[in-house]
Amino acid sequence: MKTIRLTAAQAMMRYLANQMNEDGVPYIAGMWAIFGHGNVAGIGEALYGIRDELPTYRGQNEQSMAHAAIAYAKQLGRRRAMAVTSSIGPGALNMVTAAALAHVNRLPVLFVPGDVFANRGPDPVLQQIEDFGDGTMSANDCFRPVSRYFDRIMRPEQLLTALPRAMRTLTDPADCGPVTLAFCQDVQAEAYDYPESFFAKKTWRFRRPEPDVVEFEAAVAALKAAKNPVIVAGGGVHFSGATDTLKAFVEKHQIPVVETQAGKSALAWDHSLNFGPVGVTGAESANVVSEKADLVIGVGTRFQDFTTGSWALFKNPDRKILALNVQPYDSAKHDAIPLVADAKIGLEKLSAALGNHKFVAPDAGLKASWFAKADAVTAAPTDSNALPTDMQVIGAVQRASRDNTVVMCAAGTMPGELHQLWKSKLPLSYHMEYGFSCMGYEIAGGLGIKMAEPDRDVVVMVGDGSYMMMNSELATAVGMGVKITLVITDNRGYGCINRLQMGTGGAQFNNLYAHTNVSPIGIDFAAHAASMGARSQKVSSISELEAALDAARAATETTVIVIDTDPYPTTGAGGYWWDVAVPEVSARAEVNQARVAYEAALKERT
């Protein structure tokens, strides 16, 4: 057997560079890195040696560079992924939030944090967490509950089994999620005689599981017995590459589609059978159809509470749930009829079994009525002196966008309003991180999206609260020449959670700056963005915003546009109940009133 002598870090990077996807390109598209004493000598030297085959990208914050990696994978439908490395201690722990985000959203990312010395010679090494009762623990054990696969590399030869397991997890449609390989820093530098065959190019297929015969028969029987089915399109439709299949299926059988946050853009917004967003942030048209459905067909959705209205939405007493999902865990939720299979394969087989069977599509007037309301709230304001609403900002961005524009966001007010109001024409033109609803994902995520699809316009919608939490990768985008357009809506605090606080009877407290012990600080976000090299401006009206967006599209550099908004108005129409527990006892009459309404709503939940 021919061998090659490499350090463990060199072997890892060489192996990763030779793992291909079915398109014939490396599955790991690059490594994001912030170096410290736990990874600069071993991993840093290895990355330098292979920099032409496995590019290294320098981030500003470990969490945000991981967000960029995750967004990259999501935008490409999990067909490629990235790796992220940090030193031990705070650098590693900064990435745990991003790992949780990837875990919740079923997205692939490879974390390679440095770890303590396997030989324990210098214990405790700088930044080492010491567990008084367990000598095997390190800070990286925090990754265990938020990783699909976790391993600690304590000998160089362990890579021979750990790396294939990592790749299997990253590319498996059911188990896909974050992988953590905690890499002891002394082991990174140790040499070993690795088999040359270990570094041969390997192609990883994206498995498309076929449905079980018995499950499939039950699913077909449920469909044939249904009178008013509805399809809930989730993110799995995108990950399976099943958007065209979904379109053909619903057109042939006349089944309405409603979309989750992750599934939005699976079907063009103006398709006659797309009844819009569903659930808490949904459209009236989608929610009315869902309330009446006797068969709820989930395709690639994990049935999050925002999708189901905390399981109060599907009110038909005869309703059944059919869950087509590649992950058995998701297919069995709420006593669903499980159909464990790839979304594309499952829809194709169901369509063949149904033959020419057609259902009666819902009244098209439901959809027309909803979009009339949506258009009204997104129209340009008639009062130029009033602060614009978030809905009016969305309308301006929509009018300035093109079919290939990707609009993205993560947390706060915008996810709900965008889900309700944004009109997505093409698949993957709507990128929302709402599984973990992680503030700070937005700017780094926009960078990752643009790296994944350089030919698409990327518009990042972010509130002042999220911008303050994590804005540093704006400098990275500028420095890399990766053009994104950032629209900052400044409502002077956390407007979304302030409204929720008020809606549950609470006093306005500690959310908007006006109701905190911090005086309104009047941050000049445009000047801040300019200091990081972005082309930036503040606008004072919707008409100025539209002009600035047109100029941003024509520009070659990253542009930041800031606009002040009113923190209180929402769309009003649409939406659904969401289970947010209200205190049983309070000195505030408003809270007691909200509790009465809450208890009544609980009784209505099916």
Give SS3 for 121. coil
Q: Is residue 118 within 8 Å of 183, Cβ to Cβ?
A: no
Three state DSSP letters for 231-282: EEECHHHHHCCCHHHHHHHHHHHCCCEEECCCCCCCCCCCCCCEEEECCCCC
How far CA 553 is from CA of 274, 407, 485, 550, in Å, comes to 29, 13, 8, 5
DSSP 466-485: HHHHS-THHHHHHHHT---E
Cα distance between residue 31 and residue 84, in whole Å: 5
pLDDT of res. 473: 98
Cα distance between residue 433 and residue 415, in whole Å: 8
Give residue-wise pLDDT tens across range 432-446. 999 999 999 999 999
Q: Is 77 left (phi over 0), alpha (psi -120 to 50) or beta?
A: left
Give SS3 for 460. strand
**Residue 493 DSSP symbol:** B
Cα distance between residue 460 and residue 432, in whole Å: 10
In total, the chain counts a number of residues equal to 606
pLDDT of res. 32: 98
Q: β-strands 458-463, 406-409: how paired?
A: parallel
Cα distance between residue 343 and residue 562, in whole Å: 40
H/E stretch holding 340: strand 337-340
pLDDT of res. 606: 60
H/E stretch holding 554: helix 542-554
**Residue 212 DSSP symbol:** P
* Tokens linked to 33: 């890195």
Residues of the chain with pLDDT under 50: none
Residue type for position 145:
P
Show the domains of the chain with their CATH numbers: 3-200 (3.40.50.970), 213-365 (3.40.50.1220), 372-564 (3.40.50.970)
Three state DSSP letters for 494-519: CHHHHHHHHHCCCCCCCCEHHHCCCC
* Tokens linked to 335: 């006593």
Give SS3 for 19. strand
